[in-house]
Amino acid sequence: MAAVSADFGIKEALLELGVKDINEGTSTGSNHFSNGEILESHSPVDGKLIGKVKATTQADYDKVMEAATTAFKEWRTKPAPLRGEVVRQFGEKLREKKEALGKLVSYEMGKSYQEGLGEVQEMIDICDFAVGLSRQLHGLTMHSERPGHRMYEQYHPLGVVGIISAFNFPVAVWAWNTALAWICGDVCVWKPSEKTPICGIACQNIAAEVFAANGLPEGICNLINGDYKVGEMMTKDTRVPLVSATGSTRMGKIVAKEVAGRLGKSLLELGGNNAIIVTPDADVKMTVIGAVFGAVGTAGQRCTSTRRLIIHDSMYDTVKDAIVKAYGQLRIGNPLDENNHVGPLIDADAVKMYENALTKVVEEGGNIIVEGEVLSGEGYESGCYVKPAIAEAKNEFEIVQHETFAPVLYLLKYSGGVENALDIQNGVAQGLSSAIMTNNLREAEAFLSVAGSDCGIANVNIGTSGAEIGGAFGGEKETGGGRESGSDAWKVYMRRQTNTINYTTDLPLAQGIKFDL
């Protein structure tokens, strides 16, 4: 599990992305300004300073909103296919800078370089999806009950869309929201996580370059930086009709309450407590691959990470032994070294949460079968590298009921039919992603039925992590109920309007009322 200490071309990547040791942080288009306190971004890979960013003040925020609301008045009048063409160009720029941005994502967040590249590819994919969608923003027509009348529904842009994103996907989730909002005719104000602000500035630079090249107004793409207090500026602002927030359930409840209090709309993508059910008819090799990647990918810091493995008692020992063996082959170290499987946690707070979870599961009666450890020594100087751990537990344990954003996997045992496994899977407050490993058609269909998984995502013979752009992404219960990315998720970024046209010379009134005028 030796770590590797090397540069891996980070300085060159930052230069390509237009990022240097900066005092930026708030941006409308290509103009950067801020008067707030200095925020420093240190890499969890090696603990080194990446750059300095100034937090957004209230005065800065008001400048951003002035630019955004002004830009919206022009942007909304552009035909949707023209907006799609601009998004297409943005996607092409991402293709050009994929390697550099992927490296920055890996270095600032700590996920593997391949995952960093994959995240940028998700940005490219959503741009492609949005371009096609820009010619399909359809409404409905229906027959009126009144002769000589036509009725239809159409969609109009909302205005300013506020986006609050989390550190674990520092660029992709922003793009999921932004690409769709842009083709819908909205403008965006983005507050990235204060743990990954440099990724935000890199994306803003790329987007601003595209909009400037097309002679479009500054303010279509906007960036603000800082902690939760900066996010509150958007959640309280009546000029922001929609706030899309990704993060913890605790954060989401605060956002939902604040936005609802002013009758705004919120799109929430919150915590997950995702499980894979392993039935007697499961393919063990596929199960191990899906479970290991789901549990240790991004060091367990995905909202779709596998937290619980619910195994039939007849398969329990076989699957447990296979999983433990696989964990023994994991390589932990610098995520920019493609030989490594697991990078660091984001910061010291995440490490503490990991340690607390392992302590808690033992206190509640669990049995740790793959010991966890905070790694130290050469290559691990940041103090953020930990060993993925496995514990045998019960679903009713308090620690199992909560999401631990770290590589801790709980093994749970069930007996009887798949309905018993579903009771365990659904017996948590979160409802994001779920999976079943089985070659039994009846079990698979039961899992997907109305009495099956209560999650927004339900997979058969693949793991819980990862999602394709074409499908709507999101979950139920304390996951927030939001849907973004594919399918008809575009509708949340628009307002629906019902229209009635009378093409006669008469004006019939409801309930037969007549005015003799």
pLDDT for the residue 2: 32
Distance, in Å, from the CA atom of 171 to the CA atom of 160, rounded to the nearest integer, reads 19
Residue 269 known to be catalytic: yes
Distance CA 507, CA 492 (A): 34
Residue-level pLDDT at 22: 53
Burial pattern 333-365, b for ≥16 Cβ within 10 A else e, equals bbbbbeebbbbbbbbeebbeebeebbebbeeee
Residue 2 is given by DSSP the state -
DSSP label at 427? S
How far apart, in whole angstroms, are the C-alpha atoms of residue 470 and residue 464? 17
d(CA 382, CA 104): 17
pTM of the model as a whole = 0.95
DSSP string, 196-230: SHHHHHHHHHHHHHHHHHTTPPTTSEEE---SHHH
Q: Which of 115, 122, 258, 269 is catalytic?
A: 269
Which tokens in the block code for residue 420? 């018993």
Per residue in 203-231, pLDDT (tens digit) is 999 999 999 999 999 899 999 999 999 99
Q: What stretches in the chain show pLDDT beneath 50? A: 1-6
Amino acid 4: pLDDT: 33
The DSSP call for residue 410 is E
Active site residue 194: no
SS3 for 282?
A: coil
Catalytic residue among 303, 384, 443, 478, which? 303
List the beta bridge partners of residue 332.
342
